[in-house]
């Protein structure tokens, strides 16, 4: 059944259509750039708004190339959701190992990041009591200034961790601060810092399977940072994080539609929405669309945004409301209540994607995608890529 037919059969006022074939295509673009290196697919924040469980199940089903070896989430709750959905693939908890969460980390067979001795000792003791061996990755701070050990403390900490009972150090990693920029000078400094630790471990004959720091940006234009595991996020979902334009063929996997719930013809000089920030300059037809900032359509798109209606780009007029947004559809023929409007996506040769909305809203596509709310129904399709 086509996505359009599925959309018409549901009651929801807004629908996100996710094309899993496009996800496969983007995964192949990752594979082209990394060769035989392994992939950690980042699906935190509800898979960047696309639905963590369906995306994880699809990626976990890719047992042939270009397969995914690990899944990455931010928090314990995200990992438990995947486990309870039947996903058994390795899951990396990318924000640490809070001591109070250790029992559930062990119970659900999760792989936490470690970067402090207190968590390391607590996890080791708990694992030993339960007769378990827990895989961990050690996080280094090479310049992000967020999570991680100082580089000066990394080697002794890793040596201590590898000696702990109940602990298997599976990886070391760091996080780029600005690999998306054209100027990679700071990113190179971070890379060199991680290389020094990796080399020191090899000299000390400490064998750790994974070393990783390459995010989507580094996968796309910083090949020397790929090591043996990469962490694609945004590019899986079809967008480039790079400061400069990219020629890599990425396909957005999500299109967002919303219904017209009212049409009103108003005279010139009519104010629209809260604050009366828009006044019609002519007799106008105003469409009220069932999507608002509660659904992730930013209020900053008030009097800035565009949507596609019957193949025409039309402006958002007045302030975006919690549940509704108004459009000037005066020049759109034959529009009816109940028709679908394209909020993100393409229609009849016109397109508006999350990166365009991000520029208009003075933000980044990550925020546009992650902000898509829970009451937006998500439907999934596959087709020949």
Residues recognised as catalytic: 44, 274
What are the tokens at 299? Answer: 């209020």
What are the tokens at 99? Answer: 């001591």
Are 164 and 137 within 8 A, CB to CB?
no
| 323: Cα within 13 Å, side-chain hemisphere | 4
Scanning the structure block, which residue is given the tokens 């009366």?
A: 276
Cα–Cα distance measured from residue 307 to residue 54, given in angstroms and rounded to the nearest whole number: 27
What are the tokens at 142? Answer: 């090479």
Are 231 and 210 within 8 A, CB to CB?
no
Are 380 and 54 within 8 A, CB to CB?
yes
Residues across the chain: 385
Q: Which residues pair with 377 in a beta bridge?
A: 15
CA distances from 287 to 223, 299, 316, 333 (A): 48, 17, 10, 12
Torsion (CA) 373, 376, 380, 385 in degrees, nearest 10: -70
| 100: Cα within 13 Å, side-chain hemisphere | 0
Helix (H) or strand (E) holding 162, with range, is helix 151-163
Residue 172, helix vs strand vs coil: strand
- From 177, 174, 229, 172, select the one nearest 41 (Cα to Cα): 229
Across 1-124, the runs of DSSP E, i.e. the strands, are: 14-19, 38-42, 70-73, 91-93, 111-114
End-to-end CA distance of the chain: 17
């Amino acid at each position: 059944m086509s996505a359009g037919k599925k959309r018409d059969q549901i009651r929801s006022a807004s629908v996100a259509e996710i094309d899993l074939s496009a996800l496969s295509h983007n995964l192949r673009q990752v594979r082209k750039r990394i060769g035989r290196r392994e992939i950690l697919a980042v699906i935190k924040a509800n898979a960047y708004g696309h639905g963590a469980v369906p995306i994880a199940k699809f990626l976990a089903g890719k047992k042939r190339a270009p397969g995914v070896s690990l899944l990455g989430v931010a928090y314990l709750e995200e990992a438990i959701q995947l486990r309870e959905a039947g996903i058994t693939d390795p899951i990396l908890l990318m924000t640490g190992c809070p001591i109070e969460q250790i029992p559930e980390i062990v119970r659900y067979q999760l792989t936490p990041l470690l970067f402090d001795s207190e968590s390391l000792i607590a996890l080791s003791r708990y694992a030993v009591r339960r007769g378990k061996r827990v895989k961990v990755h050690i996080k280094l701070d090479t310049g992000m200034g967020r999570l991680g050990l100082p580089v000066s403390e990394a080697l002794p900490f890793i040596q201590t961790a590898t000696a702990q009972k109940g602990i298997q150090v599976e990886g070391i990693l760091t996080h780029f601060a600005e690999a998306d920029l054209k100027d990679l000078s700071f990113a190179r400094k971070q890379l060199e810092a991680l290389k020094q630790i990796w080399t020191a471990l090899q000299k000390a004959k400490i064998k750790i399977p994974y070393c990783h720091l390459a995010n989507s940006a580094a996968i796309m234009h910083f090949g020397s940072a790929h090591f043996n595991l990469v962490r694609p996020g945004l590019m899986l979902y079809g967008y480039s994080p790079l400061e400069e334009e990219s020629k890599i063929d990425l396909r957005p996997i999500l299109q967002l539609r919303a219904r017209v719930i009212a049409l009103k013809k108003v005279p010139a000089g009519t104010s629209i929405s809260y604050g009366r920030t828009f006044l019609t300059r002519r007799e106008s037809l105003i469409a009220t669309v069932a999507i608002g900032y509660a659904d992730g359509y930013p209020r900053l798109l008030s009097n800035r945004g565009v949507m596609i209606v019957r193949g025409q780009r039309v402006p958002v007029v007045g302030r975006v409301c919690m549940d509704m947004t108004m459009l000037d559809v005066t020049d759109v023929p034959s529009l009816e209540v109940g028709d679908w409007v394209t909020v993100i996506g393409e229609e009849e040769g016109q397109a508006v994607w999350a990166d365009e909305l991000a520029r208009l809203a003075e933000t980044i596509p990550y925020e546009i995608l992650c902000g898509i709310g829970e009451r937006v129904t998500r439907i999934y399709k596959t087709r020949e890529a």
